[in-house]
């Protein structure tokens, strides 16, 4: 039974589209990751395409992946995110990641993959079935949009898209500890955040980059998207379009 057939999230979609329209923000969704990589090279050069969405490594298409790009009133890229479907079957996410965590590195240079490690958290031991990896989340220097709550609206927009396409058992991602401590996981809508899942090292450094596992079950996601958007975020004031 698909997410769409239950008519869940209809109010969220209508309200979020109104908010984005009032703030002159346009959203584009696609599944051509060669095109997405070219867009990032041109408009987000400070952060290269993450390895989990590299079309030279993974067979990404409209059936198993999509990217989302938001642009401001001047047509400038202000936000990105991407999602990818993974069929775990009866294997747990922890079992999958123990072997494959190096396929999900942060977008930073000079990683020492031999010293880096993954630690199975309690939730990862329970997660099975069809899951969605949610990553590539980036917000640019959004000027008048900063602190308005639009990042929350956009993050949930992408989560809703994943639900409509695949109705997955779980949506998960990894988040740097410094970012998680600022409450970004909660602003994105993640209800479960488990520390100590990842520890990345850079060449020549003994100071690790710690990562949280953030996730939503299918039930969590339905609950989140059925709530009025005003109950989960301060709705931003409409921005005036530059003359």
Q: Which two tokens stand for residue 13?
A: 């979609």
Q: Which two tokens stand for residue 128?
A: 């099975």
Q: What is this structure's pTM?
A: 0.91
User: In terms of Cα–Cα distance, which of 8, 180, 20, 211 is closest to 107?
Assistant: 211
Among 229, 203, 130, 164, which residue's Cα sits nearest to residue 2? 164
Long-range CB contacts for residues 31-37, cutoff 8 Å, separation at least 24: 31/60, 31/61, 31/62, 31/65, 31/66, 31/67, 33/60, 33/65, 33/67, 36/67, 36/69, 36/82
Tens of pLDDT along the chain (243 residues)?
Answer: 455 544 556 677 778 888 888 888 999 999 999 999 999 999 999 899 999 999 999 999 999 999 999 999 899 999 999 999 999 999 999 999 999 999 999 988 899 999 999 999 999 999 999 999 999 999 887 666 666 678 888 999 999 999 999 999 999 999 999 988 988 888 888 999 999 999 999 999 999 999 999 999 999 999 989 887 776 666 556 655 555
List the domains of the chain with CATH numbers.
4-231 (3.40.630.30)
Separation CA 96–CA 86 (nearest Å): 10
Q: Are 57 and 99 in contact (CB under 8 A)?
A: no
Residues 82, 104: contact at Cβ < 8 Å?
A: no
């Amino acid at each position: 039974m698909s997410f769409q057939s239950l008519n869940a999230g209809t109010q969220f979609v209508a309200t979020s589209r109104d908010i984005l329209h009032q703030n002159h923000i346009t959203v584009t969704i696609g599944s051509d990751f060669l095109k997405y990589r070219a867009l990032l090279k041109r408009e987000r050069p400070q952060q290269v395409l993450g390895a989990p969405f590299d079309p030279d490594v993974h067979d990404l298409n409209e059936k198993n992946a999509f990217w989302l790009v938001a642009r401001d009133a001047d047509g400038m890229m202000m936000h990105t995110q991407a999602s990818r479907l993974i069929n775990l079957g009866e294997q747990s996410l922890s079992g999958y990641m123990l072997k494959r965590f190096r396929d999900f590195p942060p977008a930073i240079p000079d990683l020492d993959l031999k010293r880096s490690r993954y630690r199975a958290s309690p939730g990862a031991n329970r997660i099975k079935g069809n899951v969605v990896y949610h990553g590539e989340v980036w917000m640019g220097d959004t000027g008048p949009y900063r602190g308005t709550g639009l990042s929350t609206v956009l993050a949930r927009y992408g989560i809703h898209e994943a639900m409509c396409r695949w109705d997955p058992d779980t949506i998960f991602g990894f988040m740097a500890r410094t970012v998680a401590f600022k409450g970004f996981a909660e602003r994105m809508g993640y209800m479960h955040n488990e520390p100590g899942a990842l520890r990345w090292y850079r060449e020549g450094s003994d100071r690790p980059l710690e990562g949280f596992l953030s996730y939503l079950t299918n039930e969590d996601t339905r609950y989140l998207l059925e709530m009025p958007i005003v109950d989960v975020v301060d709705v931003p004031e409409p921005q005036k379009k530059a003359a």
